[in-house]
């Protein structure tokens, strides 16, 4: 089980640590935005045993960010989510899981 733990926040974005049940940081997710036009989401996970949990909570979090920052339009954020150097496609992984 993993949790989000806020680390830093300002008007343009936030850095959130991903921690395990012992409070050890095993990754992060961060976002930056400019007005309601550009949203950048970056993340990294270091614990292979938590990959699916990371994808699950990150996908829900990103959906909320898109709605709150970009609105309901067609605009998509620029996402760079990695696991051990491998790019994770959050949208693809959540679609495969729901099928």
Question: Residue 61: enclosing H or E segment and its boundaries?
Answer: helix 51-65
DSSP 88: P
pTM of this structure: 0.84
Report d(CA 17, CA 29) in Å as an integer: 6
> In this predicted structure, what is the pLDDT of residue 11?
92
pLDDT tens column, 19-74:
999 999 999 999 999 877 789 999 999 998 999 999 999 999 999 999 998 888 77
Angle between helices 90-98 and 51-65 (to 10 degrees): 110
């Amino acid at each position: 089980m993993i949790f989000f733990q806020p680390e830093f926040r300002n008007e343009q974005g936030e850095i959130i640590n991903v921690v395990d049940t012992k409070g050890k940081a095993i990754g992060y997710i961060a976002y930056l935005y400019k007005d309601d036009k550009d949203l950048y989401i970056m993340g990294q996970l270091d614990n292979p045993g938590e990959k699916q949990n990371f994808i699950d909570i990150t996908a829900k979090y990103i959906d909320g960010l898109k709605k709150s920052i970009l609105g309901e339009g067609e605009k998509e954020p620029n996402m760079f989510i990695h696991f051990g150097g491998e790019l994770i496609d959050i949208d693809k992984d959540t679609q495969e899981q729901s099928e």
